[in-house]
Amino acid sequence: MHRLRPGDADIAPPEHTPFTAPTTSTSQQFWLLGDKVFERKLGLRGKTALFQLPLTLIIVLIAASAPFLNPEVFDNGAFLVGLGLLLLLFVACLLMPWERFPPEAILAIPLLDFIAIGFVRNGAYESLPGLGALSLFPVIWLAVSGRMVVVSALISFVAPYLIVHYPLLSTFSMTGLKAVETLLIPTAMLAVFLTMRLSSTRLMQQIVELDRKNQAVSVLEAESGNRERLLAAILDTVGVGVVAVDTEGRTLLSNRQQQLFLQAADQSDAKDEDVLPFSGSKGGAPLPGSMHPIRRAVNGECFSNNLLWLGEGDTQRAVSTAARPMIDTEGNFAGSVIVFNDVTELVGLLTVKEDFVANVTHEINTPLTSIVGHLDLVLESQEPLTPAAHQSLIVARRNAKRLSVLVSDLLSSTTQAMSLHPQPTELSELVASRVRSAKAQADVAGVNLVSELPDRLWVIADPLRIGQVVDNLLSNAIKYSPGGGDIVVRAHAGQDTVQIEVQDRGIGMTQREASLIYGRFFRARGAREAAIPGVGLGLAVTKAIVDGHGGTIRCASSPGVGTTFTVTLPRTIADTAAATSAEP
């Protein structure tokens, strides 16, 4: 498991110059070839001697074997002069300060080699035939040197030709046939020169290309190192924990904040984030492995604002998790990046706020209940009231009941545990009764309620809470349809679920607003501009009830088109392993 280390961000990136393709002149290619082929720093003298060495060794071998093959050859002065000149040339390669001369001065060695070979070959022409082939060595030297190519090619043909023809020229006995035969060696030497020249040119091109690629790789490695250090610095700067995993769930990368977060939750010894103890609520039972955020991310899920609790006992930390998949160049799933944001302090502050709101609403609810009760007693008493007093009391009771409903919603939204009492419930009749109850409100608003319900639709649910869900959805649909129109209420069964839909043709909302409507006290912009009454608690309570049943609620809406709420409930709560309590 590789982790970015905090110290990596403190290492200064190495300086480098922008990459430029190397340029190699013709006069440099020979010595660059020597550097690459022999891979040692011999110096100019050493490399010159190295190219002269093969011819010198051959000459020494010939001189050593000549006494056994033909001792008379040492009686020839030309042969001895040639041997001595070749040995002196090798010594000159080692002793001459070639660095002080122009680069072309080195070509004097192969040119003098031709003269020395001419002496050796013609001095032993009768006793050791075939020595003219020694011209091959200076020809090769000229070919790979890369200097004065045209002149070198001409010398590679003329010098062997003169060496071979010298005896014939000196005796004036050269015939046409003999001249043609002696052209074979010079022509072969020229062919060798051209072949070696082409080969050395191709080799030099490969060497230059290899150098260019090596420099490019070096630049890329330096840039990659800089980017890795930049990434480490960025990840260690952000205040959230970041973990990257592969398709198998193995951790590829985690930042310093993640390590600090694990230490705060007393989980710094965990070998893999995939086995961290998460729970859905503080002090709650551990989540199954399939519900862990990293496991969900490895399975390809994309989520955000997933609030969980990490750790055990007093060290538990509230963490908001989010995950996004990584896609490779071929569009395949390559892993995920998961973000852990420690929100323990924020959750604590929200809890304090909710406790305060709950206490205040509870204190308000007690006298409000008394007020509503006494108003009912007065209105139902037999004592006569003036019409004005009677009307005022009716208005007071209506507004007191409205305030009671708001306080009840507010109290429900701040209650940590909403009790549920599931039982076999016939959903069609339940929804139909709620539609009948809402008809009076719909008539006042000019809205027509349409029911599309099956004859029987059974489900295991809390009838009072599901009724509250339908009431909230119908109330919202009526309020947000100021222009009238139809509101359609549907219910139907799936394979293992039942669904309730409430569709209106009202003002609608944007997709962003639709994603926020379940938050407490949230109201869409259109509702605020139309001065539609409400405090934004009904849908928060509705979602809490649906979640408590192990179901889901979805909203599809468009401005000016309308809104459709779809509630999906399991046929039996046991199928969802839901508890009999829900958190709004």
Give me the number of domains the chain comprises: 4
Question: Does the residue 224 lie in any domain?
Answer: no
- On whether both 442 and 384 belong to a single domain, the answer is no
Which of 111, 200, 207 is CA-nearest to residue 156? 111
- On whether both 124 and 195 belong to a single domain, the answer is yes
Distance CA 510, CA 165 (A): 101
- On whether both 275 and 358 belong to a single domain, the answer is no
Question: Does the residue 525 lie in any domain?
Answer: yes
350-381 b/e with 16+ CB inside 10 Å = b? Answer: eeeebeeebeebeebbeebeeebeebeeeeee
- On whether both 155 and 277 belong to a single domain, the answer is no
- On whether both 571 and 458 belong to a single domain, the answer is yes
- On whether both 391 and 435 belong to a single domain, the answer is no
pTM comes to: 0.39
Question: Does the residue 362 lie in any domain?
Answer: yes
Question: Does the residue 11 lie in any domain?
Answer: no
**Residue pLDDT, tens place only, 418-471:** 567 889 999 999 999 889 888 888 888 888 999 999 989 999 998 888 988 998
- On whether both 361 and 290 belong to a single domain, the answer is no
Q: Which residue has the tokens 């110059």?
A: 17
Distance CA 248, CA 335 (A): 8
**Of 288, 319, 342, the domain-final residue:** 342
Decide if 388 contacts 394 (C-beta within 8 A). no
- On whether both 472 and 542 belong to a single domain, the answer is yes
Tokens of 492: 């139907």
**Of 362, 396, 414, the domain-final residue:** 414
Question: Does the residue 10 lie in any domain?
Answer: no
- On whether both 516 and 446 belong to a single domain, the answer is yes
Question: Does the residue 482 lie in any domain?
Answer: yes
> Can you give the CATH number for the domain in which 302 is found?
3.30.450.20
Question: Does the residue 14 lie in any domain?
Answer: no
- On whether both 384 and 441 belong to a single domain, the answer is no
- On whether both 406 and 433 belong to a single domain, the answer is no
Question: Does the residue 179 lie in any domain?
Answer: yes
The Cα-based distances of 507 to 478, 486, 526, 529 in angstroms read 11, 13, 7, 11
> Can you give the CATH number for the domain in which 521 is found?
3.30.565.10
pLDDT in tens, the chain (584 residues): 444 443 443 333 334 334 343 444 444 444 444 444 444 456 778 888 888 888 888 888 888 887 777 777 777 888 888 888 888 988 888 888 888 888 788 888 888 888 888 888 887 777 777 777 788 888 888 887 777 878 888 888 888 877 777 665 555 455 444 555 567 777 777 787 778 777 777 777 787 888 888 888 888 777 777 777 777 777 777 778 888 888 888 888 888 877 777 776 665 555 555 567 788 777 777 778 778 888 888 888 888 888 888 877 777 888 888 888 988 888 888 888 888 888 888 877 777 766 666 666 666 766 777 787 777 777 777 777 788 887 888 778 777 776 776 676 666 655 545 567 889 999 999 999 889 888 888 888 888 999 999 989 999 998 888 988 998 899 888 888 877 888 999 999 888 899 999 999 888 888 888 878 877 666 666 666 555 665 566 788 888 888 888 889 999 988 888 899 999 999 875 443 333 334 44
| Domain range enclosing 168 | 26-213
**Of 311, 342, 373, the domain-final residue:** 342
- On whether both 326 and 354 belong to a single domain, the answer is no
